[in-house]
């Protein structure tokens, strides 16, 4: 696999080596030893799947405290714009984001470390995303930032009138008003 660094330390794009012929293709989507060596040691414990239609925007979500999560995201059908926002207070990239187009054709994956909010917008008629998490979901530890925070300024690749949100995603706080974030000087991987 090829690991591509982004402008934010720890957030990386992973391109698997795809072997294709007239029958189709094959690639290894995850290898624990390679991931540990090339990205960081992480033990994934939960695997999620999400199906959405064009215009759906999910985010920006995160898990707080001892339930903080890293995510490894990929798309098996369609096309999404996947986004990771640095929400670690004191970080030199606090409030900055990485946006990567993940598609069924490019097979790219985005690794989002603990201390980041995550969201995505669906750019195709339909999309199916898979993501592995290194901590179990805990509803009491949910955190969120509003998707259209002007201080972050994410271009989701959709016209405003095409954005489809859940009722919950319509009323999150802005980054500056979020009650609990992460501290850049804390190691959220320490046990």
pLDDT, tens only, 95-126: 999 999 999 999 999 999 999 999 999 999 99
pLDDT at 179 over 90: no
What are the beta bridge partners of residue 97? 85
Does 28 reside within a domain? Answer: no
Active site residue: 61, 107, 118, 172, which one?
Answer: 61
pLDDT at 46 over 70: yes
Residue 55: predicted pLDDT: 98
Domain ranges, residue 132: 43-183
What are the beta bridge partners of residue 26? 19
Residue 191: predicted pLDDT: 66
Q: What is the mean pLDDT of the chain?
A: 96
Q: Is 186 helix (H, G, I), strand (E, B) or coil?
A: coil
pLDDT at 36 over 80: yes
Number of domains in the chain: 1
pLDDT at 182 over 90: yes
Does 83 reside within a domain? Answer: yes
Active site residue: 97, 118, 131, 172, which one?
Answer: 131
Does 14 reside within a domain? Answer: no
Share of the chain above pLDDT 70, in %: 99
Which CATH number do you get for residue 165? 2.60.120.10
Size of the chain in residues: 191
Does 32 reside within a domain? Answer: no
Does 128 reside within a domain? Answer: yes
Does 50 reside within a domain? Answer: yes
Q: Is 131 helix (H, G, I), strand (E, B) or coil?
A: strand
Q: Indicate if 172 belongs to the active site.
A: no
Identify whether the C-beta of residue 135 lies closer than 8 Å to the C-beta of residue 141.
no
Retrieve residue 111's tokens: 């690794």
Instruction: Count other C-beta atoms under 10 Å from residue 137's C-beta.
Output: 12
Residue 180: predicted pLDDT: 86
Does 190 reside within a domain? Answer: no
Residue 53: predicted pLDDT: 98
Does 27 reside within a domain? Answer: no
């Amino acid at each position: 696999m090829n690991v591509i660094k982004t402008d934010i330390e720890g957030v990386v794009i992973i391109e698997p080596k795809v072997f294709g012929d007239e029958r189709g293709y094959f690639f290894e989507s995850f290898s624990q030893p390679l991931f540990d060596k090339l990205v960081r040691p992480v033990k994934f414990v939960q695997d999620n799947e999400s199906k959405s239609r064009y215009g759906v925007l999910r985010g920006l979500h995160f898990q707080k405290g001892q339930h903080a999560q890293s995510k490894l995201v990929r798309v098996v059908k369609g096309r999404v714009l996947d986004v990771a926002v640095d929400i670690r207070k004191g970080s030199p990239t606090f409030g900055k984001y990485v946006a990567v187009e993940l598609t069924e054709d490019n097979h790219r994956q985005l690794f989002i470390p603990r201390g980041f909010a995550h969201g995505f917008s669906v750019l195709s008629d339909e999309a199916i995303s898979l993501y592995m998490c290194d901590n179990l979901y805990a509803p009491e530890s949910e955190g969120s930032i509003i998707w259209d925070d002007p201080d972050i300024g994410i271009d989701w690749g959709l016209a405003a009138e095409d954005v489809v949100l859940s009722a919950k995603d319509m009323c999150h706080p802005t980054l500056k008003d979020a009650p609990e974030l992460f501290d850049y000087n804390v190691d959220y991987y320490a046990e």
